[in-house]
């Protein structure tokens, strides 16, 4: 699997230069009004600019100061728009390459009369039938109705190994822009041009379709409320100052307002959202909306298919249990010989176990006869120099050996029973009439999956295994894999009912699936992830598509969702905590002339009132730039309980946000006074 | 500061702590509509009251109907009280023959008592008839407190219920609050006050001849009964002008204890009731802890600031050992005055047993700041609980984001709609306090009312609007409040502080009640542990501090710094 996980470097000039240009374009107030905090900042910057021009015209001594404040207020706005532009720029490169493949598409459409005409792909309609031969690009999303072909989907998935697409079944969906490598298929177009998968992908990556997610809206309300409060505060200060005999200029009040309103999180909010989607894309997952990504962070229950997700797809030999009087190595050797010509995964796993754990040398022998497995005999094996080695279903092998079930040794029967009860499959091995023992075939749980479930549990997420196995087998695998619950002998209806039941209790459910019969459950789930290899119906029903078709991807998706919220929350806390230091910089600066005693509040010992105010404004602007990498990368996430996460983030971003600006403003003040800026 | 002082304070909090659980459990039964020990006595009366007023007690109301009932009831209460105050000359029980109140003062007073503020721009013993005090003010003392409790219970039910359209019945909640909680407790406390020497009579003032031969008028009246509900209902409006500093309102250390105890008991226990009703007592204790930590810090800060004394007075030869005794009753001393001042402002009581304006700058800042925090420590009966729950929602929102989940509190998801109403509620206090203070500070006619020039004068104005908007009612002293400007604007501030705050809170209740109650998981941030307590304290302090620091800097902070520098204004 090729994973394009490495993001472009944070300082990639190919992204930064266009972003700097876009940052200016985004100053348009009609666009900025979507972001109230930054919009207020821009309005204030405009007012101070006018005042600066007035100072300049009147030749006021204040011009130098108000000019610098105005400049830094504009920088504050620009840094915010720049952050958004950078976040968008990182997705754009990928979108551009997708667009290129799309624009060149042509289709060979079958007309009503049965002839074939060549038309541009953009003129295709739903229901059109197109032919695609080897070497051609599939012109639109659709379903294979005739033929089978290998298709290169690397344009979408980044995965270079071709996949098989065939009519009927769960592998019938094809995506526009992918290339047929062999054979010819007939495709029925199921999606109108402009809303195809690639189009959706482009729109999402570019952020054009970006709407505020519910959580983002709630946070925006909090930030707008705080902005309003600080607006009151600043207006009131003007009145209170008047009483105290201090005349405050609009410039210093503007500076105070902008430093107090949450510009840090306000400026980075949309960049965080875009970067979250972008991170998902880099994990080769396409989400249809930001809402789905956010919901992923909230998921309470994960529904995972057993096969391929929790266990390897096939049963494998895990042990040899010899009958009385047979040595383990004899049994292993017999099992090995009986399986040498068995090319099924089970057979190969028996060979691997015998030569591996049981150290049987690979024999170089010539068989007299190979007995293939059939549904009637239910056993297979070889004849070799008078030895008639067989392995297979226990009753079939017993019959082959000429034994009644009661004739088998008690130890053998016990072994068979134990294996069956543990959810495994017993395979008996016999040499002629001599019963040698049992092979334990079982579902092998993927290594490391138990730890992942433990991590999910620490995050408060229950995992539920869905399987068609009987309850006994399911329970055994469930306990081995460490899932919290399982759904045995599950039909698609069972899945749907289970999801509904959980949702009734207020839980959010995520699941992944690929078959058409998964579609209702995918649509019902709060987060439904369809495999790229899955059917069109599944892909339509889901709100995310995993291009790698890896069922464990759900776990990463949940983490990305959580990281997105955490980044917002942490930067909000940081932004608010910053205000304390700004008060200690600006309030004494404003009033020390009237009340010299207030210099006691100047605990940073800033050089002069003007340098204090300017330093606070500069810090406020620069902190946005400094935090762009964090906003794009997301705050560090480790699976842990909520209390542990909160404690850590409060310490880093709450306490850090309280302390850092004291040091930062002091440092800037030293620089400002060293350079004689005011 | 003395060991005895600290012991007195510790003993007091211990006494409150002991009563929280039994009283909280009792109120939980009352508001769950269950039978209580008093049901045999009051059950008939309760049923009769519903029948007479045509209320079917089992019919529940949605948030809008509940709020509308509350507003209608408050308007009616305001009109009745306004009429009584204006017409008292023609009403009975007026032994002193007081005239009717002026329209602006009557407006201010009526609003003040209906909003549970009890800001008093009048001297009770020289302005009001016994009828006005009893049938007017004391009745509203009961009803405004009961209204607050009803609202808090409606919000509580929003957390208990899942996918519910209703929050209870306002009339039932209010009636039960009066009958089963306020009335019985008021009777017991009033009798205790009488035993401690508070007057309880319908006679008018008596005239005494002093040792110098001068004639002195000693005001009397139904003091004990009004004092009891004044404290239990966190109203704070005293019978006498100087409130609980008056020897007839608060004669001894014991009456002082009972005063403070009565005001704190219900508000604190109601938080326990909340925990009990939402099925998580630890949640109740967590909120109580946050309140207690901030309140005790407030007591300590005032005690420390006052005990440290005033260097300006020391320089004039005043004994520094006693600390700053200006404006304090010697029978209470530093510790009991500090305790009273912090509790009365941490609650929205507003009674005083000393002059807050005579405290040191810092000592005066603390009561002001405790009110500016939103009257949630533990605040007025009911109003403190719902105010605190708004802070809890804000804390949960920020912390929920920080742990990577859509925030939830007690199983209810906090989303855009809740945040919108919570911010609307939070905006009320800074708007009313800072807005009116700034305007008054610029308005010559308003500035003319202040008693002292300089930062202290600003503190007087700031304190007045803070007290009004926070529905506290205590006064800083010094400000001549009985002017058309202050009567009107303080009245508006009180209305905003009560109703503009509670309507969005009720909208939150309606929205939360309709949501599914989500079972907690280990990914849910636990809101009943020390981490949440710390976070809640942090949010309250930071939000309060950020809003009011500049105003405080120009008032009490600069005053205190100047005092330390030996400067006066």
Q: What is the ipTM of this complex?
A: 0.93
Mean pLDDT for chain B? 93
Is residue A162 scored above 80 in pLDDT? no
Q: What is the DSSP letter of A6?
A: P
A302-348 pLDDT, tens digit each: 888 877 678 876 788 888 999 888 998 889 989 988 888 887 778 88
Interface check for A458 against chain B (CB to CB < 8 A): the answer is yes
Residue numbers in B near A457 (CB within 8 A): 522
A407 is in an annotated binding site: no
The least confident of A30-39, A285-294, A596-605, B124-133 is A285-294
CB within 8 Å: B403 and A219: no
Interface of A with B in 162-221 (CB under 8 A): 214-215, 217-219, 221
Band (pLDDT 50/70/90 cuts) for residue A8 is low
Radius of gyration of chain B (CA): 23
Q: Which residues pair with A284 in a beta bridge?
A: none
| Structure confidence at residue B277 (pLDDT) | 96
Give the confidence band of A5 by pLDDT, cuts at 50, 70, 90: very low
The DSSP result for B2-51, as a single string, is -HHHHHHHHHHHHHHHHHHHHHHHHHHHHHTT---TTHHHHHHHHHHHHH
> Is the distance from CB of A245 to CB of B446 less than 8 angstroms?
no
Stretch (H or E) spanning A150 = strand A148-152
The closest alpha carbon to B459, from B487, B485, B488, B479, belongs to B479
Distance CA A170, CA A186 (A): 16
Do the strands A185-189 and A142-146 form a parallel or antiparallel pair, or are they unpaired?
antiparallel
CA pseudo-torsion sign B249, B252, B253, B254: negative
* b/e map B533-559, b = 16+ CB within 10 Å: bbbbbbbbebbbbbbbbbbbbbbbbbb
How many interface pairs between A and B have CB atoms less than 8 angstroms apart?
A: 210
For A371-427, what is each residue's pLDDT tens digit?
888 878 888 888 888 888 999 988 889 999 888 878 888 888 899 888 888 878 899
B511, B494 contact by CB (below 8 A): no
Picking from B431, B526, B561, the nearest residue to A642 by CB comes out as: B526
For residue A94, the model assigns a pLDDT of: 66
Positions of A annotated as catalytic residues are 305
The model's confidence at residue B379, banded by pLDDT at 50, 70 and 90, is: very high
Q: What is the pTM of this model?
A: 0.86
Q: What is the pLDDT of residue A313?
A: 67
Q: Is the pLDDT of residue A274 over 90?
A: no
Best CA proximity match to B76, nearest among B99, B53, B50, B56: B53
Whether the pLDDT of residue A4 is over 50: the answer is no
DSSP for B328-373, written as a single string: B-TTTHHHHHHHHHHHHHHTT----SB-GGGS-HHHHHHHHHHHHT
pLDDT > 70: what percent of chain B? 99
The SS3 call for residue A370 is: strand
Give residue A159's pLDDT. Answer: 63
pLDDT in tens, B255-265: 999 999 999 99
Of A233, A457, A461, the CB nearest to B434: A233
Q: What is the pLDDT of residue A555?
A: 80
Distance from C-alpha of A394 to C-alpha of A426, rounded to nearest angstrom: 7
Q: Chain A contact for B301, CB < 8 A?
A: no
Measured distance CA(B471)–CA(B350) in Å, rounded: 8
Q: Which of A326-330, A448-452, B407-411 has the lowest mean pLDDT?
A: A448-452
Query: In 3-state terms, what secondary structure has residue A68?
Result: helix
Q: Are A140 and A149 in contact (CB under 8 A)?
A: no
Min CA distance, A596 vs chain B (Å)?
A: 9
pLDDT at B160 over 70: yes
* A6 pLDDT higher than 70: no
Q: Do A600 and B561 touch (CB under 8 A)?
A: yes
Query: Is B416 in CB contact (< 8 Å) with chain A?
Result: yes
pLDDT tops 50 at residue A3: no
Q: What is the pLDDT of residue A74?
A: 97
Q: Known binder of ligand: residue A368?
A: no
pLDDT band at A93 (very low <50, low <70, confident <90, very high): low
Which of B50, B168, B523 minimizes the C-alpha distance to A641?
Answer: B523
B427: nearest Cα among A592, A224, A57: A224
Give, rounded to a whole angstrom, the gap between the first and last alpha carbons of chain A.
Answer: 59
Q: What are the counts of helices (DSSP H) followed by strands (DSSP E) for chain B? A: 23, 4
- Looking at the complex, does the CB of residue B92 fall below 8 Å from at least one CB of chain A? no
Averaged pLDDT, A167-184: 81
Q: Number of helices and strands (H, E) in chain A? A: 23, 22
3-state class of A119 per DSSP?
A: strand
User: Looking at residue B404, what is its pLDDT?
Assistant: 85
Q: What percent of chain A has pLDDT over 90?
A: 33
Q: Which tens digit of pLDDT belongs to each residue from A487-522?
A: 988 887 888 899 999 888 878 899 887 777 778 888
List CB contacts (< 8 A) between A601 and chain B: 553, 557
A569 to chain B, any CB pair closer than 8 A? The answer is yes
DSSP B135: I
Is residue A295 over pLDDT 50? yes
Strand order, beta sheet including A148-152: A163-166, A148-152, A179-180
Choose among A107, A362, A106, A89: nearest CA to A205. Answer: A89
Q: How many beta carbons lie within 10 A of that of residue A75, not counting itself?
A: 19
Contact B266, B381 (CB under 8 A): yes
The pLDDT of residue B142 is above 90: yes
The CA R_g of chain A, rounded to the nearest whole Å, is: 34
How far apart are the C-alpha atoms of A237 and A231, rounded to whole Å? 10
A260 reaches B (C-beta below 8 A):
yes
SS3 state of residue B127: helix
Cβ–Cβ contact A227 with B under 8 A: no
The mean pLDDT of A165-190, rounded to a whole number, is 83
| B65/B58 Cα distance (integer angstroms) | 15
A461, A573, A579 ranked by CB distance to B546: nearest? A579
**Does residue A380 have a known ligand-binding role?**
yes
* Confidence label for A9 from pLDDT (cuts 50, 70 and 90): low
**Closest of B188, B284, B272, B202 to residue B231, by C-alpha:** B188
Q: What's chain B's length in residues?
A: 569
Specify whether the backbone of B457 is left (phi greater than 0), alpha (psi in -120 to 50) or beta: alpha
Q: Name which residue leads in pLDDT, A140 or B388.
A: B388
For residue B259, what are the β-bridge partners?
A: none
Portion of chain B with pLDDT greater than 90, in percent: 82
Contact present, B262 and B223 (Cβ < 8 Å): no
Contact A115, A151 (CB under 8 A): no
Q: Going by C-beta distance under 8 Å and a sequence separation of 6 or more, which residues neighbour residue B500?
A: B425, B428, B432
pLDDT for residue B198: 94
| A568 CB within 8 Å of a chain B CB | yes
d(CA B558, CA A582): 18
Say how far apart CA A162 and CA A164 lie, in whole Å. Answer: 7
In the predicted model, is pLDDT for residue A81 greater than 50? yes
Residues 417-436 of B with CB under 8 A from A: 418-420, 423-424, 426-427, 430-431, 434-435
CB-CB: which of B437, B524, B557 is closest to A642? Answer: B524
Between CA B353 and CA A476 the distance in angstroms is 73
User: If pLDDT is split at 50, 70 and 90, which confidence band does B224 have?
Assistant: very high
A60 assigned ligand-binding residue: no
Closest chain A CA to residue B421:
A221
Q: What is the DSSP string of B380-432?
A: STTHHHHHHHHHHHHHHHHHHHHTTS--EETTEE--HHHHHHHHHHHHHHHHH
Exposed, middle or buried by CB within 10 Å (0-12, 13-18, 19+), for B465?
Answer: buried
Nearest residue of B to residue A225 by CA position?
Answer: B423
Of the ranges A104-108, A349-353, A424-428, B274-278, which is most confident? B274-278
Distance CA(A300)–CA(A291), nearest Å, equals 16
Q: How sure is the predictor about A298, in pLDDT bands with cuts at 50, 70 and 90?
A: confident
Residue B437 to residue A240, Cβ atoms within 8 A: yes
Rounded to 10 deg, the angle between the A263-282 and A553-591 helix axes is 160
Measured between its terminal Cα atoms, the distance across chain B in Å is 28
Residues of A with Cβ-Cβ distance to B558 under 8 angstroms:
591, 595, 597-598
Please name every residue paired with A463 in a beta bridge, in sequence order, or none if there are none: A302
Whole-angstrom Cα distance, residue A139 to residue A107?
5
pLDDT of residue B25: 97
Q: Is the pLDDT of residue A1 over 60?
A: no
pLDDT for res B487: 96
Measured over all CA atoms, what is the biggest interatomic distance in chain A, rounded to whole angstroms?
A: 116
Q: Residue B338's Cα: distance from chain center in Å?
A: 17
**Average pLDDT over every residue of A475-489:** 88
- Nearest CA to A482 out of A446, A441, A449, A443 is that of A449
Contacts of A583 in chain B (CB under 8 A): 546, 549-550
Strand partners, A445: A311
Question: What three-state secondary structure class fits A380?
Answer: strand
Nearest to A376 by CA among A357, A399, A353: A399
SS3 of A124, please? Answer: coil
Q: Which chain B residues touch A241 with a CB distance below 8 Å? A: 554
> What are the pLDDT digits (tens) for B267-323?
999 999 999 999 999 999 999 999 999 999 999 999 999 999 888 888 888 887 888
A485-487 vs A462-466, strand pairing mode: parallel
CB neighbourhood size of A74 (10 A) = 18
Other Cβ atoms closer than 10 A to B87: 14
Q: Three-state SS string across A410-470, please? A: HHHHHHHHHHHHCCCEEEEEEECCEEEEEEEEEEEECCCHHHHHHHHHHCCCEEEEECCCC
User: How are strands ordered across the β-sheet holding A185-189?
Assistant: A116-120, A106-110, A129-132, A185-189, A142-146, A173-174
């Amino acid at each position: 699997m090729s994973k394009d996980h490495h993001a472009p470097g944070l300082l990639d000039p190919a992204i930064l230069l266009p972003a700097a240009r876009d940052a200016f374009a985004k100053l348009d107030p009609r666009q900025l009004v979507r972001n109230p905090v930054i919009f207020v900042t821009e309005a204030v910057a405009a007012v101070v600019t006018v005042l600066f021009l007035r100072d300049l015209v009147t030749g006021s001594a204040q011009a130098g100061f108000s000019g610098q404040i105005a400049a830094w207020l504009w920088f504050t706005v620009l840094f915010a728009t720049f952050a958004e532009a950078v976040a968008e720029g990182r997705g754009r490169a990928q979108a551009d390459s997708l667009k290129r493949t799309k624009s060149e598409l042509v289709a060979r459409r079958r007309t009503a009369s049965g002839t074939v005409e060549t038309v541009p792909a953009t003129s295709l309609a739903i229901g059109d039938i197109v032919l695609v031969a080897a070497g051609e690009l599939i012109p639109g999303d659709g379903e294979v109705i005739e033929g089978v072909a290998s298709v290169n989907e690397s344009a979408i998935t980044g995965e270079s190994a071709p996949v098989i697409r065939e009519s009927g079944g769960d592998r019938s969906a094809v995506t526009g822009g992918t290339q047929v490598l062999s054979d010819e298929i007939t495709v029925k177009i199921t999606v109108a041009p402009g809303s195809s998968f690639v189009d959706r992908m482009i729109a999402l990556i570019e952020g054009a379709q970006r709407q505020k997610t519910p959580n983002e809206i709630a946070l925006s309300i909090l930030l707008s409320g705080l902005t309003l409060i600080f607006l009151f505060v600043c207006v009131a200060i003007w009145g209170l100052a008047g009483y105290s005999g201090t005349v405050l200029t609009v410039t210093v009040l503007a500076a105070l307002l902008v430093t107090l309103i949450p510009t840090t999180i306000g400026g980075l909010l949309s960049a965080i959202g875009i970067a979250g989607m972008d991170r998902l894309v880099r994990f080769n997952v396409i989400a249809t909306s930001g809402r789905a990504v956010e919901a992923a962070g909230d998921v309470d229950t994960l529904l995972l298919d057993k096969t391929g997700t929790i266990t390897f797809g096939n049963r494998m030999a895990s042990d040899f249990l010899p009958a009385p009087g047979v040595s383990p190595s004899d049994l292993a050797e017999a099992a090995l010989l009986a399986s040498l010509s068995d090319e099924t995964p089970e057979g190969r796993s028996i060979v691997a176990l015998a030569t591996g754990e049981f150290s049987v040398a690979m024999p170089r022998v010539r068989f007299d006869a190979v007995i293939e497995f059939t549904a009637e005999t239910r056993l297979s094996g070889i004849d070799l120099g008078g030895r008639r080695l067989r392995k297979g279903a226990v009753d079939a092998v017993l019959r082959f050996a000429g034994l009644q079930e009661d004739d088998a040794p008690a130890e053998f029967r016990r072994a068979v029973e134990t294996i069956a009860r543990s959810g495994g499959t017993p395979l008996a091995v016999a040499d002629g009439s001599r019963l040698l023992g049992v092979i334990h075939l079982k579902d092998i749980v993927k290594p490391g999956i138990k730890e992942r479930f433990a991590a999910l549990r620490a995050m408060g997420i229950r995992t539920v295994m869905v399987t068609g196995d009987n309850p006994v087998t399911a329970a055994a695998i469930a306990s081995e894999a460490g899932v919290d619950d399982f759904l045995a002998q599950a039909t698609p209806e069972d899945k749907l009912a289970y999801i509904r039941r959980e949702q009734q209790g207020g839980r959010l459910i995520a699941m992944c699936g690929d078959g058409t019969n998964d579609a209702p459950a995918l649509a019902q789930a709060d987060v439904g992830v369809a495999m790229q290899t899955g059917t069109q119906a599944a892909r339509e029903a889901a709100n995310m598509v995993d291009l790698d078709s890896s069922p464990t991807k759900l776990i990463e998706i949940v983490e990305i969702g959580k990281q997105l919220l955490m980044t917002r929350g942490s930067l909000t806390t940081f932004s608010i905590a910053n205000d304390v230091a700004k008060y200690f910089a600006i309030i004494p600066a404003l009033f020390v002339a009237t009340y010299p005693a207030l210099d006691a509040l100047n605990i940073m010992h800033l050089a002069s009132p003007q340098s204090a105010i300017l330093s606070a404004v500069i810090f406020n602007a620069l902190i946005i730039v400094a935090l762009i990498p964090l906003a794009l990368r997301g705050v560090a996430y480790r699976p842990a309980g909520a209390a542990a996460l909160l404690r850590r983030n409060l310490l880093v971003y709450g306490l850090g946000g309280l302390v850092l600006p004291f040091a930062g403003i002091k440092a800037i003040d030293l620089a400002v006074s060293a350079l004689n800026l005011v | 500061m003395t060991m005895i002082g600290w012991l007195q304070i510790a003993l007091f909090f211990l006494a409150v702590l002991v009563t929280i659980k039994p009283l909280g459990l009792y109120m939980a039964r009352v508001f769950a509509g269950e039978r209580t020990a008093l049901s045999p006595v009051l059950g008939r009366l309760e049923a009769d009251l519903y029948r007479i007023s045509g209320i079917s007690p089992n019919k529940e109301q949605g948030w809008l109907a509940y709020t509308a009932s509350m507003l209608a009831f408050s308007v009616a209460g305001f009109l009745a009280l306004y009429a009584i105050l204006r017409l008292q000359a023609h009403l009975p029980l007026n032994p002193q023959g007081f005239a009717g109140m002026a329209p602006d003062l009557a407006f201010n007073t009526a609003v003040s008592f209906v909003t549970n503020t009890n800001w008093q721009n009048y001297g009770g013993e020289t302005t009001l008839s016994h009828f006005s005090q009893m049938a007017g003010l004391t009745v509203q003392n009961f009803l405004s407190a009961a209204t607050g409790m009803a609202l808090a219970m409606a919000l509580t039910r929003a957390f208990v219920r899942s996918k519910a359209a209703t929050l209870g019945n306002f009339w039932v909640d209010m009636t039960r609050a009066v009958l089963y909680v306020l009335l019985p407790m008021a009777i017991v406390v009033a009798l205790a006050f009488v035993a401690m020497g508070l007057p309880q009579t319908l006679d008018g003032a008596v005239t005494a001849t002093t040792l110098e031969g001068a004639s002195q008028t000693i005001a009397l009246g139904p003091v004990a009964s009004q004092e009891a509900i004044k404290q239990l209902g966190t109203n704070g409006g005293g019978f006498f002008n100087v409130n609980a500093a008056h020897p007839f309102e608060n004669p001894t250390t014991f009456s002082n204890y009972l005063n403070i105890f009565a005001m704190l008991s219900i508000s604190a226990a109601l938080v326990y009731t909340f925990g009990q009703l939402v099925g998580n007592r630890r949640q109740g204790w967590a909120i109580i802890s946050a309140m207690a930590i901030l309140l005790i810090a407030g007591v300590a800060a005032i005690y420390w600031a006052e005990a440290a004394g005033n260097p300006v007075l020391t320089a004039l030869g005043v004994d520094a050992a006693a600390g700053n005794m200006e404006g304090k009753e010697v029978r209470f001393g530093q510790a009991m005055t500090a305790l009273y001042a912090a509790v009365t402002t941490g609650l929205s009581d507003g009674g005083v047993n000393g002059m807050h304006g005579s405290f040191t700058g810092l000592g005066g800042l603390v009561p002001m700041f405790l009110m500016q925090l939103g009257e949630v420590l533990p605040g007025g009966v009911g109003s403190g609980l719902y105010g605190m729950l708004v802070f809890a929602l804000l804390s949960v929102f920020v912390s929920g984001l920080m742990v990577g989940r859509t925030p939830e509190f007690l199983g209810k998801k906090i989303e855009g709609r809740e945040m919108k109403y919570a911010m609307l509620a939070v905006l009320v206090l800074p708007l009313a306090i800072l807005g009116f203070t700034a305007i008054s500070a610029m308005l010559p006619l308003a500035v003319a009312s202040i008693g002292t020039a300089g930062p202290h004068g600003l503190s007087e104005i700031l304190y007045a609007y803070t007290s009004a908007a926070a529905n506290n009612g205590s006064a800083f002293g010094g400000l001549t409040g009985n002017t058309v400007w202050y009567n009107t604007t303080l009245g508006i501030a009180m209305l905003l502080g009560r109703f503009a705050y509670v309507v969005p809170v009720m909208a939150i209740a309606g929205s939360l009640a309709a949501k599914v109650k989500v079972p907690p998981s280990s990914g849910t941030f636990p809101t009943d542990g020390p981490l949440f307590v710390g976070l809640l304290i942090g949010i309250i302090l930071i939000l309060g501090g950020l809003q009011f620091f500049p105003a405080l800097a120009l008032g009490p902070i600069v005053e205190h710094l100047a005092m330390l520098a030996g400067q006066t204004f």
